[in-house]
């Protein structure tokens, strides 16, 4: 007989099924709890709540394991191509050559953006944060493909997926070009995904631009490392919005907004700003460790700690190694890298961080690489979003195909109980 969980409440005993995942993770299925007992569970921040079952990404925070569709992140980051990983996440298997060629060719043919989108883009002030701009532009894309609003358009969902995958990097480079006062570059379909992005970012009309293979390889691996991370804040947002049967563009736009926050993807920008501040302050790390430990100080060590990892974030391990390699290959000596190393070492030997199992996360070293690649700080979180896009799409698709009910958490009300309406003249 399958396992069950017993609950004794107000003297009565209830039984709930226990479900088990393919990696033996267990959950008590409380979907009938309220119907049977009149109670709900409460778990602010969802520290203990599974919102779904999913076959996309496996994460073991205690052991520091991350796998996409069963494949180790270490293998994928070293051996795979970002679009092959995107295919894996979205369709469930690594593509064979024909499937890969088809996928790449479809994405390549959608890289241009409707010129009318430029009018929307042009309305943004030059210093608008690119994450806000990206969220708006992706939402605006739904207006250009109105068939996407139809909840029955799932048969054509592939074309929307290709458009998003293809146009997202193009839109991202618009933000950068505008910030520099440079003309935008159109996509070059002869280039691969990463090289095309780098070309649109850095090519100028006045000179030839050669994509540096070290840069394009590093970018490929960074995008793979960010491609999915199961039910994190932005992915859960994409799923929640998608559960109302909102179209793919608006769901992804909401995910971009969620990613922007400094406790989530925005941490990569916050890390570099923190490291720069430490540098300006003479380079000593102890003061900042003390600030992070001081409960009266809102400062947190950015790029440290994770809701799920209570061990080294496996992505941080790969990125740290890659930061060393990329900086060496590009001949860059970034003093901030030494500060990051010193800060990491000091934190890992500090009782506060040891006790709370706080380790560097994906964002701790990624900004150092982005900067070495020439990407400005306010574009770091956009880089995260380009990487995360296939994960969001895969999770949205899984949700829609599962037919899962609309996401609608409950609450325990703690406000005023019923009271009489008070006329304005009688209010205090
Ligand atoms: N610096 C100082 N103390 C910390 C930090 C930190 N970076 N992270 C957690 N703590 C402390 C926290 O104060 C708490 O202490 P206590 O038990 O004494 O109250 C304890 O560790 C547990 O922290 P929590 O806030 O309850 O944990 P959480 O799971 O709610 O938060 C987190 C996870 C990632 C938001 C948090 O660790 C944090 O704010 N880190 C800095 C921001 C960051 O790097 N975010 C990127 C996350 S990884 C990529 C991504 O998701 O996009």
pLDDT by residue (tens digit) across 170-212?
A: 999 999 999 999 999 999 999 999 999 999 999 999 999 999 9
Spatial contact of 369 and 222, defined as CB atoms under 8 Å apart:
yes
| Percent of the chain at pLDDT exceeding 70 | 99
150 falls in which pLDDT band (50, 70, 90)? confident
**Region 152-165: what's the mean pLDDT?**
88
| Percent of the chain at pLDDT exceeding 90 | 90
CB of 304 sitting under 6 A from ligand 1: yes
pLDDT at 155: 77
**Region 89-108: what's the mean pLDDT?**
97
pLDDT at 376: 93
Spatial contact of 131 and 382, defined as CB atoms under 8 Å apart:
yes
pLDDT at 419: 97
CB of 362 sitting under 6 A from ligand 1: yes
Instruction: Please count the other Cβ atoms lying within 10 Å of the Cβ belonging to residue 174.
Output: 22
Ligand 1, pocket-test mutation among 238, 305, 343, most atoms within 8 A of CB: 305
Report CA(308)–ligand 1 centroid distance (Å): 10
| Three-state DSSP state, 130 | helix
| Three-state DSSP state, 111 | coil
pLDDT at 232: 97
Report CA(333)–ligand 1 centroid distance (Å): 30
Residues paired with residue 68 on neighbouring β-strands, in sequence order:
57, 71
CB of 258 sitting under 6 A from ligand 1: no
Residues in the chain: 428
pTM of the model: 0.94
- Nearest-5° angle of CA 133, CA 240, CA 358? 80
Average pLDDT of every residue of the chain: 95
| DSSP states of 364-388 | HHHHHHHHHTT--GGGHHHHHHHHH
pLDDT at 68: 98
pLDDT at 151: 63
pLDDT by residue (tens digit) across 234-250?
A: 999 999 999 999 999 99
pLDDT at position 7 over 70: yes
pLDDT at position 46 over 80: yes
- Whose CA is closest to atom 16 on ligand 1? 356
pLDDT at 413: 98
CB of 18 sitting under 6 A from ligand 1: no
pLDDT at 283: 86
pLDDT at position 2 over 90: no
pLDDT at 149: 81
| DSSP states of 170-189 | HHHHHHHHHHHT-------T
* Candidates 81, 228, 313, 363; catalytic one: 363
Catalytic residue status for 334: no
CB of 256 sitting under 6 A from ligand 1: no
* Candidates 110, 226, 229, 306; catalytic one: 306
CB of 292 sitting under 6 A from ligand 1: yes
Report CA(339)–ligand 1 centroid distance (Å): 20
Report CA(311)–ligand 1 centroid distance (Å): 13
Q: Which helix (H) or strand (E) holds 213?
A: helix 213-225
pLDDT at 263: 93
pLDDT at 152: 59
- Whose CA is closest to atom 34 on ligand 1? 306
Alpha-carbon gap, residue 272 to 381, rounded angstroms: 12
148 falls in which pLDDT band (50, 70, 90)? confident
CB of 360 sitting under 6 A from ligand 1: no
pLDDT at position 153 over 70: no
403 falls in which pLDDT band (50, 70, 90)? very high
Report CA(306)–ligand 1 centroid distance (Å): 6
Report CA(358)–ligand 1 centroid distance (Å): 8
Catalytic residue status for 158: no
Q: Which helix (H) or strand (E) holds 9?
A: strand 4-9
Choose the weakest-confidence range: 31-45, 54-68, 320-334, 406-420: 320-334
pLDDT by residue (tens digit) across 103-137?
A: 999 999 999 999 999 999 999 999 999 999 999 99
Token pair recorded at residue 54: 């999913």
CB of 265 sitting under 6 A from ligand 1: yes
Spatial contact of 222 and 383, defined as CB atoms under 8 Å apart:
yes
- Whose CA is closest to atom 37 on ligand 1? 305
- Residue the block writes with tokens 């000596």: 333
């Amino acid at each position: 007989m399958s396992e069950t969980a017993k609950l004794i409440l107000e003297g009565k005993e209830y039984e709930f099924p226990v479900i088990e995942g393919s990696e033996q993770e267990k959950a008590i299925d409380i979907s009938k709890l309220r119907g049977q007992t009149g109670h709900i569970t409460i778990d602010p921040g969802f520290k203990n709540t599974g919102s779904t079952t999913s076959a996309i990404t496996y994460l073991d925070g205690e052991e520091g394991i991350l796998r996409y569709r069963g494949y180790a992140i270490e293998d994928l980051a070293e051996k795979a191509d970002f679009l092959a990983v995107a295919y894996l996440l979205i369709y469930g298997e690594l593509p064979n050559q024909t499937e890969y060629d088809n996928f790449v060719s479809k994405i390549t043919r959608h890289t241009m953006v409707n010129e009318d989108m430029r009018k929307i883009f042009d309305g943004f002030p030059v210093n608008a944060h690119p994450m806000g701009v990206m969220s708006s532009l992706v939402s605006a894309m739904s207006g250009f493909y109105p068939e996407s609003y139809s909840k029955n358009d799932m048969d054509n969902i592939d074309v929307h997926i290709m458009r998003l995958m293809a146009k997202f990097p193009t839109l991202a480079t618009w933000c950068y070009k505008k910030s520099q006062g440079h003309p935008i570059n159109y996509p070059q379909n002869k280039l691969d995904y990463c090289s095309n992005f780098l070309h649109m970012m850095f090519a100028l009309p006045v000179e030839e631009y050669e994509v540096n293979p070290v840069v394009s390889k590093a970018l490929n691996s960074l995008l793979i490392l960010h491609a999915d991370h199961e039910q994190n804040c932005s992915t859960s947002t994409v799923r929640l919005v998608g559960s109302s049967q909102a179209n793919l563009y608006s769901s992804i736009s909401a995910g971009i907004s969620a990613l922007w926050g400094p406790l989530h993807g925005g941490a990569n920008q916050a890390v570099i700003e923190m490291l720069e501040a430490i540098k300006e302050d003479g380079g000593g790390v102890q003061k900042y460790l003390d600030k992070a430990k001081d409960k009266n100080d809102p400062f947190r060590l950015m790029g440290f700690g994770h809701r799920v990892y209570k061990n080294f974030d496996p992505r941080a391990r790969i990125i740290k190694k890659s930061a060393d390699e990329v900086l060496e290959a590009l001949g860059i000596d970034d003093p901030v890298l030494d500060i990051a190393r010193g800060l990491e070492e000091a934190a890992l030997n500090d009782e506060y961080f040891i006790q709370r199992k706080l380790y560097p996360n994906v964002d701790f070293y990624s900004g150092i690489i982005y900067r070495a690649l020439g990407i400005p700080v306010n574009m770091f979180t956009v880089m995260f979003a380009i990487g995360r896009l296939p994960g969001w799409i895969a999770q949205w698709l899984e949700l829609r195909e599962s037919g899962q009910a609309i996401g609608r958490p409950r609450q325990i009300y703690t406000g005023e109980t019923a009271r009489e309406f008070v006329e304005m003249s009688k209010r205090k």
